[in-house]
Amino acid sequence: MSTTGVRKRATMEELRSLRMVTAVKTPYLANGRIDLDTYDNLVNMQIAKGVDGILVAGTTGEGSLMTWDEQIMLIAHTVKSFGDKVKVIGNGGSNCTSEAITATERGFAVGMDAAMHINPYYGKTSSEGLIAHYNCVLSIGPVIIYNVPARTNHDIPPSVVEKLAEHPNLIGIKECIGNDRVKMYTSKGLHVWTGTDRESHDARWECGAAGLYSVAGNLIPGWMKELVVEGKNPSLNAKLAPLFDWIFHVPTPVALNTALAQLGVIKPVFRLPHVPVPIEKRREFVNLVKEFGRENFVGEKDVQVLDDEDFIIVARY
């Protein structure tokens, strides 16, 4: 597969039809560099469970801890290796409009199907500034708006989203503010995905969400697909609640990274400022895996608690 435009990019209809997309974790080697062999294994495990798409270098994939060159390389690698099996959504978001434009251009140049864009953070801006910022990247190709005020400290107002929905390249919005907002958008005919695993079942089946951009899917892709694709299942939703609580008891992806290391599917390497959860929480995860059944999680190795000294923490890479 070439990155020179031979691959046909997904249509807007296909992108709006995605139900289960996993925001894949980016694994590392002991020196802190990206571990592509392990990454390929992670993506293949997602494909084996039938996910519709892969979000590359998002929050869960630690795009914020990458250089732009690393990020574009990983998008290109994902397109080349898996673009015939899943849709590839690349993170192009930045608080700097100029960087967001460049990242989006580069991502589409290497073949991604769509760009995901967080709103400008820290510096923030007005509603008029948000519209101008998003129009710049929408002019390049299909875009999903990502609203996560817990990280940006700046909610994207519905008035802004509804204005941007007039643009033909707006696929929809990944919404993390709650299901009331999801339902409000879907009632107006907008395409919305929840970015919150614990709310995904009700978002999909009660509020009209198109689907889910999932963190937990890194661990239990089969169950997460069942939750948002195969019909209402409140009993499964309730069953998974303790796991959701564990994954999100610290900011994403700290607990997820720890869990994947405990399952033996990634090397126990963390780029700072992320560090593993304490040993008592690691023991809790081992108990959850035993309770739910090891076969329902990714990988095949026995789950381990791991000692503190088993983890490698890198500050420069």
**DSSP per residue, 65-109:** GS-HHHHHHHHHHHHHHHTTTSEEEEE---SSHHHHHHHHHHHHH
Question: Alpha-carbon distance 304 to 224, whole Å?
Answer: 23
| Helix count and strand count (H, E) for the chain | 13, 10
Q: Which of 49, 87, 174, 225 is catalytic?
A: 174
Q: What are phi and psi of 160, to 5 degrees?
A: -70, -45
User: In tens digits, what is the pLDDT along the chain, a chain of 317 residues?
Assistant: 444 446 789 999 999 999 999 999 999 999 999 999 999 999 999 999 999 999 999 999 999 999 999 999 999 999 999 999 999 999 999 999 999 999 999 999 999 999 999 999 998 999 999 999 999 999 999 999 999 999 999 999 999 999 999 999 999 999 999 999 999 999 999 999 999 999 999 999 999 999 999 999 999 999 999 999 999 999 999 999 999 999 999 999 999 999 999 999 999 999 999 999 999 999 999 999 999 999 999 999 999 999 999 999 999 99
The verdict on whether 146 is a catalytic residue reads: yes
The verdict on whether 317 is a catalytic residue reads: no
Q: Which of 146, 185, 213, 225 is catalytic?
A: 146
Question: Alpha-carbon distance 19 to 29, whole Å?
Answer: 32
Burial class of residue 143, CB neighbours in 10 A (0-12, 13-18, 19+): buried
112 in Cβ contact with 75 (< 8 Å): yes
Which pTM was predicted? 0.96
Other C-beta atoms within 10 Å of 124: how many? Answer: 13
